Chains A and B, each alone.
Chain A
Amino acid sequence: MSPRELLGRVGRYTLLSLVLAFFALPLLWLATAPFDRTPEIAASWPEFTLDNVRELLDNENALRSLRNSVLLAGGTCALVVTLSALAAYALSRVRLPGRDGLLYALLLLSSIVTGTAAMVPLFNLAYELDLIDSRLGVILVLTGGLLPSAIFILKDFTDATPVSYEESARVFGASPLQIVRHLVVPLIRPGLATIGVWSVAQVWGNFLIPFLLLRSPEKSPAAVVMYTFYTEGGQPDLALISTFSLLYSLPVVLMFLFVSSRYGFRFHGGIKR
């Protein structure tokens, strides 16, 4: 290796390390601050303590909010997966004029539905439908926002499933529902897993919609409750926030690892034989 190459290599790795450090520092903070007696907005070697965890476990708001997050995420995930699977299957099998245009339009609009721009009309709509301060309202709005992208991703999977599988089953007398259960769902399972995890993660991290539509603190999910962790002096309670952040991020990481090892993530269709 010539000195020049060596120098190039050193330069490259230094740059990579700097970029990595930039992204790793907040994570480092997440790992140390919860166990620090006096956490600050800086990653530092902790004076080790479990007091913060104890304090969090005593805070009934915190734990209840995690349960709320699970409810919202689970409900949305179930709705998104079921509806998008049915819609994607129908869209890839039924000839509709302007089908692709419809899908792209939906995709474009979906970023508006759950976006900041639609806050006021969304609130009005929920108010008219009597869905203010209702978990169902939040779930429906989030589902509406996620569906187009989910259908778009899943349609790629349903498109890649040969029609002859279904026709073969039909000749044997299978009903449409049996075809979906026996053939379509197993064949697009990696897609369903991807959509499921993705929608859970989306809801888990969503602040705006539940903040807007839920009134009572007992119904608020973790993302909203975290926003209320202040000390009596009006300062952010860093001990509580950091510990709660750690607890808050763990379920999503675990779910991701589980689903990814079980089904594998893919954003495109095609049958793996």
Chain B
Amino acid sequence: MAAIALTGLTKDYPGGVRALDGLELDVADGEFFALLGPSGCGKTTILRTIAGLEEATAGTVVIGGDDVTRLPPGRRDVAMVFQDYALFPHMTVTDNVAYPLRIRKVPTAERRGRAAETAGQLGLTKQLDRRPGQLSGGQQQRVALARAMACHPRVFLFDEPLSNLDARMRLEARTFLKRLQRELAVTTVFVTHDQAEALALADRIAVLSDGRVRQVGTPTEVFRRPANTFVASFIGSTPMNLLPGTVTAGARVLVGDAALPAPVGEIAPGTPVVYGIRPEYLRLTPTAGEDTVTGEITVVENLGSTQLLTLEGPAGTVQVVVPEDSEAAPGAPLHVVPRADRALLYRPDGDGELLTNCPTPGGAAPGA
């Protein structure tokens, strides 16, 4: 077990692609750490650089206090589960799981026993003599996990290990993975492009875009207080509404024709801002008021226990999550009130950073 520290990590691929740009990241000992970002943002590159499969152009990789930047992959004491699992098709499950031990010259009988034991812990006892091609996706994933566990590494590196499973299996495997990591307490870096997966599994999440860290925090922090508009629109099953507005003299934000309560703090009146509110934190109200967003329903999407409505109005396009029994029909007018304590203000330019940290005073009650 060991902490990981990436300092000033830069990776240029031949051909001039800069996949990582001066990346700083600290993963604590025993932590379940998720790297989250859209495809192509450099997640796999980070993982491969930690594993030693890619050489860093600049910067250092420290694992458990040892600088491993120049060490070959086999001497870093890490185990990696690849996106395609990379199980060896010509070996049985036992031989696959025992392979790391074979490299370490553990005698055949002993390594078979240990492999069978590890595979047994992951519920693979009946599959020991099968080839990977004869296993289901979920079983293959567990064989890959067992093989990574078999060498008792200091660090686990998982590259989208759930993305090849169907939706139901993925939920099962997610719970399984979380419990396993808790029990083993091995530092784990987990790559995913699925924000729900990251929120559900990780102790902490790093949200990445274009080879840069955009925010690091616990799932709650990242969900509640996205540090910039990129994170705000990336995290959450429905993206946050980001509406252009202006701060008014009354410590509100004028969005379209609505003066919405917001944590304005010290921001001078007249400053242009982006008003961020999640669709879940907008509430239906029967009457229009000065702090209601008004619009016409254009799309109704059924999400099971809730509905996602898309409104078009003076404030722009706004999405709202409403209870399943709301009678909403396209074309109908609708008024919604934001939950003031969940509103966030962002800079409209630059990287769209979060503008203020002070919580909204309780007085800005909606519907007044």
CB within 8 Å of B: which A145-181 residues: 162, 164-165, 167-175, 178
Tell me the smallest distance from the CB of A184 to a CB of chain B, in Å.
11
With a CB–CB cut-off of 8 A, which chain B residues contact A175? 74
Instruction: Closest A residue to B81 by CB, please name it.
Output: A168
A162 touching B104, Cβ below 8 Å: no
B73 touching A187, Cβ below 8 Å: no
With a CB–CB cut-off of 8 A, which chain A residues contact B133? 273
Instruction: Closest A residue to B72 by CB, please name it.
Output: A170
* B102-141 interface bits toward A, Cβ cutoff 8 Å, 1 = contact, 0 = none: 1110000000000000000000000000011110000000
- The answer to the question of A118 belonging to the interface, with a C-beta cut-off of 8 Å to chain B, is no
CB within 8 Å of B: which A242-259 residues: none
- The answer to the question of B263 belonging to the interface, with a C-beta cut-off of 8 Å to chain A, is no
A172 touching B74, Cβ below 8 Å: yes
Mark the stretch among B61-69, B83-91, B337-345, B360-368 that contacts chain A.
B83-91
In this complex, the member of B52, B74, B78, B132 whose beta carbon has the largest number of chain A beta carbons within 10 angstroms is B74
- The answer to the question of B82 belonging to the interface, with a C-beta cut-off of 8 Å to chain A, is yes
Partner of B151, one of A164, A172, A186, A273: A172
Partner of A165, one of B73, B86, B102: B86
A174 touching B103, Cβ below 8 Å: yes
A168 touching B74, Cβ below 8 Å: no
Partner of B73, one of A171, A271, A272: A171
- The answer to the question of A183 belonging to the interface, with a C-beta cut-off of 8 Å to chain B, is yes
A167 touching B74, Cβ below 8 Å: no
In this complex, the member of B72, B89, B104, B131 whose beta carbon has the largest number of chain A beta carbons within 10 angstroms is B89
Instruction: Closest B residue to A183 by CB, please name it.
Output: B88
Partner of B82, one of A164, A173, A272: A164
- The answer to the question of B75 belonging to the interface, with a C-beta cut-off of 8 Å to chain A, is yes
A164 touching B84, Cβ below 8 Å: yes
B52 touching A171, Cβ below 8 Å: yes
A171 touching B78, Cβ below 8 Å: yes
Q: How far is the CA of A172 from the CA of B101 in the complex (A)?
A: 9
Count of A residues near B, CB < 8 Å? 21
B53 touching A170, Cβ below 8 Å: yes
A167 touching B82, Cβ below 8 Å: yes
Count of B residues near A, CB < 8 Å? 29
With a CB–CB cut-off of 8 A, which chain B residues contact A171? 51-53, 73-74, 76, 78-80
With a CB–CB cut-off of 8 A, which chain B residues contact A182? 88, 99, 102
Q: How far is the CA of A227 from the CA of B84 in the complex (A)?
A: 58
Q: How far is the CA of A183 from the CA of B73 in the complex (A)?
A: 17
- The answer to the question of B348 belonging to the interface, with a C-beta cut-off of 8 Å to chain A, is no
Q: How far is the CA of A178 from the CA of B131 in the complex (A)?
A: 21
- Asked if A273 meets B89 with Cβ closer than 8 Å, knowing A162-B84, A170-B53, the reply is yes
Q: How far is the CA of A164 from the CA of B103 in the complex (A)?
A: 17
Instruction: Closest A residue to B134 by CB, please name it.
Output: A273
With a CB–CB cut-off of 8 A, which chain B residues contact A170? 53, 72-74
B74 touching A186, Cβ below 8 Å: no
- Asked if A173 meets B86 with Cβ closer than 8 Å, knowing A273-B132, A273-B133, the reply is no
- The answer to the question of B295 belonging to the interface, with a C-beta cut-off of 8 Å to chain A, is no
A187 touching B84, Cβ below 8 Å: no
Instruction: Closest B residue to A173 by CB, please name it.
Output: B74
B86 touching A164, Cβ below 8 Å: yes
Instruction: Closest B residue to A187 by CB, please name it.
Output: B90
Q: How far is the CA of A173 from the CA of B76 in the complex (A)?
A: 9
A173 touching B80, Cβ below 8 Å: no
A168 touching B103, Cβ below 8 Å: no
Instruction: Closest B residue to A172 by CB, please name it.
Output: B100
B84 touching A273, Cβ below 8 Å: no
Instruction: Closest B residue to A273 by CB, please name it.
Output: B133
With a CB–CB cut-off of 8 A, which chain B residues contact A172? 74, 79, 99-100, 103, 151
A165 touching B104, Cβ below 8 Å: no
Tell me the smallest distance from the CB of B367 to a CB of chain A, in Å.
57
B103 touching A173, Cβ below 8 Å: yes
A273 touching B131, Cβ below 8 Å: yes
With a CB–CB cut-off of 8 A, which chain A residues contact B99? 169, 172, 182
With a CB–CB cut-off of 8 A, which chain B residues contact A186? 90
Instruction: Closest A residue to B135 by CB, please name it.
Output: A273
With a CB–CB cut-off of 8 A, which chain B residues contact A169? 99, 103
In this complex, the member of A95, A172, A175 whose beta carbon has the largest number of chain B beta carbons within 10 angstroms is A172
Tell me the smallest distance from the CB of A129 to a CB of chain B, in Å.
41
Q: How far is the CA of A183 from the CA of B75 in the complex (A)?
A: 20
With a CB–CB cut-off of 8 A, which chain B residues contact A165? 86, 88
Tell me the smallest distance from the CB of B316 to a CB of chain A, in Å.
45
- Pairs A-B, 3 closest by C-beta atoms: A273-B133, A173-B74, A168-B86
Instruction: Supply 12 A–B pairs (Cβ within 8 Å), ascending by A.
Output: A164-B84, A167-B73, A167-B86, A168-B80, A171-B80, A173-B75, A173-B104, A175-B74, A182-B88, A183-B88, A186-B90, A187-B90
Since A171-B79, A173-B103, A271-B89 are in contact, a sample of 7 more A-B pairs with Cβ atoms closer than 8 Å, ordered by chain A residue number, is A95-B14, A164-B86, A167-B80, A171-B76, A172-B79, A172-B103, A178-B103
A interface residues with partner B (beta carbon < 8 Å) = 95, 162, 164-165, 167-175, 178, 182-183, 186-187, 271-273
